[in-house]
Structure 1
Amino acid sequence: MLDSTPERQAAAQRISIIGAIVNAFMSALKIIGGVLTGSAALVADGLHSLSDMATDLLVVFLVGVSHKKPDKEHPWGHGRFETLGTVFLAVILLLVAGFMTWDSLKLLFSGEIPAPPAWPALLIAAISIGANEALFFYTLKVGKTSRSNLIIANAWHHRTDSLSSIVVLLALIGALLGVWWLDALAAVLVALLIAKIGLDLLLKSLAELVDTGLPQERIEELHEEVLSVDGVINVHNIRTRLMGGQSLLEMHLQVHPQTSASEGHFIGDTVCARLKQRFDDIGYIIYHIDTYDDETLPEVQLAALPDRKAIEQQLDRLLEQLLGSRPDYQLTLFYTPKTVKLEIKLSPAIWPLLQHRQLTAPQLEQQLLQTLETLPGFRQLSLWLPTSGSEAQSP
């Protein structure tokens, strides 16, 4: 994941621009040198460097665009721009590899023996190896410092360029020794190397575009880290995907049924902080707090339980009937998949109403209980009355 600080983003773009300049120079040197020395392999390697220049320029663009903040048109961010750009790049690489293979195979089976390449081709190939190795180490260092998978991948792309140039160098030596077909064969091998890079990029990007989840080993690590947070009983419905090299997560966190909404939110935020601390590629996390495991719960069960409005309407009518007036109260509901528990805290205004009706607190609780038991899924009533300025549960 690219670091969001401007300094590191600028460093990532700067090394990509340097890579583009070097590859542009090496591409021109190889293609012109290959034509002048009569080396098809060197020309093929020059085309490879040309595609690398396009890669570097694309990386510069993607670093700037894909890490822009979410906006109205792109509420989830701009990470898909990096993915789409990689798909485009992969297709270009495959096309270049196809044309290179076709031209080299025509040369191999034409029956004509070309003149051996001139010795300056060896010098050009050696310069290419040195330049690409320098780019590899420099880009890899910047990628690790910036924690950018995109830059690290581009560094290894420079390493493949170095390897292809080594193949070309060996082929040129063979051609100068009289093995004329080795040069054209090396061009085919370089083309196949380009095709493999393009195919790998294409498959990885397509997997990201269709929201392929993270590997099972990674999900198990996430599961283990979540369960280590105090207050989390279980985690389920974990869903993952990738966007622009970032991992996006959705999950249900099960907490104790008596947990308040604010505490549940605090537990969820703690989970997010712990995951992002351990896994620095996580882009965002969406969590849902559960007080029970709803992974296999039929929706019809929840639909059968009364909601707060229905319970308050019945409770208001009941208090009016029993006391002649409805006192203020605080209602807390605790749901399970099949039941609902009620906790009622009455205000001090309850005492004159009870005295007027000549009711005791236990009598009030018993009459409330007899009526509320008719509620679908009703399980338990806890009635709290104020006593001497404090609150205590009635016997």
Structure 2
Amino acid sequence: MPGMIYLDHAATTQIAPEVLEAMQPFLFGKYGNASTLYDLGKISKEAVEHARRQAADVIGAKPEEIYFTSGGSEADNWALKTAARMYRRRGNHIITTKIEHHAVLNSCKALEEEGFSVTYLNVDEEGRVRTEELKRAIRPNTILISVMYANNEIGTIQPIDEIAKIAKARRILFHTDAVQAYGQIPISVQQTPLDMLSTSSHKLYGPKGVGCLYIREGTPLKSYIDGGGQERGKRAGTENVPGIVGFGKASELARIEMPYRIARETRLRDELIKNVLREIPYTRLNGGRENRLPNNANFCFQFVEGGNLLVLLDMKGICASTASACSAGEKPVSHVLKAIGVPEEIAAGSLRLTLGKNTTPEEIAYTVECLKECVRKLREKSLAYKEYEKTLR
């Protein structure tokens, strides 16, 4: 099949044509600073507020509960570090999980250096938090819980509604990193009593370098970046008007297209999983069949090194990843696969394939055939595979 097949939508997405069209006027003629008082600035201000409403509508929030950031990492840092420091008089204990994005894990490590105590919850073999274990981890001095909505590597969706209700009943702040879930699956902050939610534009066909932090009305979170009074005094810095406008449009499109995309991507994902597991022996699906993002398929191919597999797939025009794009340059085995109990020698052969709204059945079929060929070639060169074959004779 000629051309490129892009199956790394969890890493980033291409800007949608409608998003680019919405952004362009604010890159040229409508370039005013949104914090100024003359008409050119007011046009930008109105565009920012319209985008705020678009972003809020995806999760059923009020526009004034949306604060624009430079992306998910900033939003995670803001939520965890500011909340922990503000509530330190009430306690110093934080609960998170072992499979969080590094923006959360490294924020927690930084807080530990400041004297906070952090509990890193185990997850089950599918990557889900056991709510009974969460309840047992809560202490009198617990001030914050942070559990991601859906995992960026294996696609596991957490029982966020139940976790949020546990936190609320104990008057503990609850934050969720929803970077992979926002605009991908239904989220309602009216039904789920979470206090803070992080997201990022470039995961849903919007521009890079912009995202938001949802802060429930009445949650007293201070500013993380000092400076001017932008974002109602919560987030200093001149507004990235083109980026915010793009994020708003991408959010609107995601909300409208969500039912269709969920149904379509789920069908293609299930076909991919079925055929890979059927056609390629010694392959493991990471994460469960249920409670999984519609576009995520994560495998481990035994007797194969994931990096080598990526190179061969790239030569065939297929873009994929071995883990989070944020840790792709690191050598250690994925902390997520380790947490769900995948042996290190098997985890080394991991591959994440994440579909998009333009992925076709033909691309999925071609990918399966390429995977069969590439895995076979790599196993033919594997001493471990040859030794294993001898035991079968």
TM-score scaled by structure 1?
Answer: 0.25
TM-score scaled by structure 2?
Answer: 0.25
| Higher Rg | 1
Larger relative contact order (CA 8 Å, sep ≥ 6): 2
